[in-house]
Amino acid sequence: MAETSAIHPRQVVFVQQQQVIAARRAQLLMINSGTFLISAAWSIIIIIIDSSSDDAFPIAGGAPACALAAFFIFLVGVSLVMLALVADRFPRAARVGVAIATAFHRYFLSPGW
């Protein structure tokens, strides 16, 4: 009688393929979220520069606070992109990066919770 707990070789290959796909999707999620954050930071800088020359649209809180927030957003975006490039070497850091990118994606880009 054959053992029922034997794993078929096709199942092993399927599981390995799914692991590779999941790792690639995690990298793409971090790259896409990081790129979006970098673009958002530069958009904030452009708005600050444009509104500082025009007094009709003053920024609440002042330009230095907005510039600091843009710098922080830029650093988070660059960190996510750089972490995506070395995610296979640092799996714990990659998990944190994926968690940040997933939370960002769900909060800003999803139609709702």
Print the domain residue range for 38: 27-109
In the predicted model, is pLDDT for residue 3 greater than 60? no
Domain membership of residue 17 (yes or no) is no
- Span 56-82, mean pLDDT? 81
Domain membership of residue 84 (yes or no) is yes
pLDDT band for position 1 (50/70/90)? very low
For residues 27 and 87, give the distance between their C-alpha atoms in angstroms, rounded to a whole number: 7
Lowest-pLDDT range of 58-62, 66-70, 100-104, 105-109: 58-62
What's the pTM value of the predicted model, to 2 decimals?
0.74
Domain membership of residue 45 (yes or no) is yes
Question: Domain tally for the chain?
Answer: 1
Taking only the tens place, the pLDDT of each residue in 9-57 is 777 777 777 777 878 888 999 999 999 999 999 998 888 777 766 555 5
Helix pair 91-104, 9-53: axis angle to 10 deg? 60
Q: How far is it between the farthest Cα atoms of the chain?
A: 85
State what percent of residues in the chain have pLDDT above 90: 36
Domain membership of residue 55 (yes or no) is yes
